[in-house]
């Protein structure tokens, strides 16, 4: 089995952190998606969304989508704790994972892709959508800060997959790609981010 990834990119890093927290090692194949290494017919045939990360199993089954890959390994290794343990925890983790991914990370992806034109060789870029998406990111940050003012982690008092999504959203998408100073502006996000940064898997 192997994972196709572009190690520097947030989606690949989400899987990487998840696997480190789980203590699982998997072979990796680097695809430089910025240079279009994912665009050839062979990869596009294997991958439903055409992107990285993608997990290819030994029987040829291919699983795309970050959370689907994380779910596969959690189930395979009988440790689904990062998705919550009790029914209540599972519901809250699922809710926050989706909120941070849709309202934070993906809005940030849309902002970066449409404003920078980094993938203009493969998609139509709409700068106005980029601007709107960036505003949505800015509007989401106080909600995340409020949640972290009341909880140690995004979905409550335990580390979960929602923290991994949030960590890449804040550190890579906000701070680096969009130059939004989330850490400076939001003390609870800053404290949570510092705490996660100290974990070996997040370094």
Ligand X SMILES: N[C@@H](CCC(=O)N[C@@H](CS)C(=O)NCC(=O)O)C(=O)O
Site residues for ligand X per CB under 6 A? 9-11, 33, 38, 49, 51-53, 65-66, 109, 119, 122
Q: Which residue is nearest to ligand X (CB)?
A: 51
For the bound state, the minimum distance from the C-beta of residue 165 to ligand X, rounded and expressed in Å, comes to: 9
For the bound state, the minimum distance from the C-beta of residue 146 to ligand X, rounded and expressed in Å, comes to: 25
Q: Which is nearer to ligand X, 105 or 141 (CB)?
A: 105
DSSP, collapsed to helix, strand or coil, labels residue 37 as coil
Q: H or E segment at 94?
A: helix 87-99
For the bound state, the minimum distance from the C-beta of residue 194 to ligand X, rounded and expressed in Å, comes to: 24
For the bound state, the minimum distance from the C-beta of residue 11 to ligand X, rounded and expressed in Å, comes to: 4
d(CA 115, CA 94): 30
Q: Which is nearer to ligand X, 10 or 104 (CB)?
A: 10
Termini Cα distance of the chain: 25
The answer to whether residues 158 and 129 touch, using CB atoms and an 8 Å cutoff, is no
Q: Which is nearer to ligand X, 48 or 85 (CB)?
A: 48
Q: What are phi and psi of 28, to 5 degrees?
A: -125, 145
Q: Which is nearer to ligand X, 51 or 134 (CB)?
A: 51
d(CA 63, CA 70): 10
Q: Which is nearer to ligand X, 54 or 186 (CB)?
A: 54
Q: In whole angstroms, what separates CA 54 from the centre of its chain?
A: 13
For the bound state, the minimum distance from the C-beta of residue 38 to ligand X, rounded and expressed in Å, comes to: 5
Q: In whole angstroms, what separates CA 3 from the centre of its chain?
A: 15
- What lies within 8 Å, CB to CB, of 71 at 6+ separation is 83
């Amino acid at each position: 089995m192997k994972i196709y990834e572009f190690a520097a990119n947030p989606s690949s890093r989400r899987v990487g952190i998840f696997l480190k927290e789980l203590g699982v090692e998997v072979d990796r194949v680097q695809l430089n998606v910025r240079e279009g290494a994912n665009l050839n017919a062979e990869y596009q045939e294997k991958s439903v969304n055409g992107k990285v990360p993608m997990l290819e199993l030994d029987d040829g089954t291919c699983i795309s989508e970050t959370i689907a890959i994380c779910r596969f390994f959690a189930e395979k290794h009988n440790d689904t704790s990062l998705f919550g343990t009790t029914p209540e925890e599972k519901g809250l983790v699922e809710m926050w994972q989706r909120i941070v991914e849709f309202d934070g990370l993906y809005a940030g992806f849309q902002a970066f892709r449409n404003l920078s034109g980094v993938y203009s060789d493969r998609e139509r870029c709409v700068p106005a959508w980029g601007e709107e998406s960036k505003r949505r990111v800015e509007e989401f940050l106080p909600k995340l800060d409020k949640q972290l003012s009341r909880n140690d982690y995004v979905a409550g008092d335990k580390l979960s997959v929602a923290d991994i999504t949030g960590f890449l959203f804040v550190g890579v998408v906000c701070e680096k790609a969009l130059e939004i100073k989330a850490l400076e502006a939001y003390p609870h996000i800053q404290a949570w981010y510092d705490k996660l940064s100290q974990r070996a898997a997040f370094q």
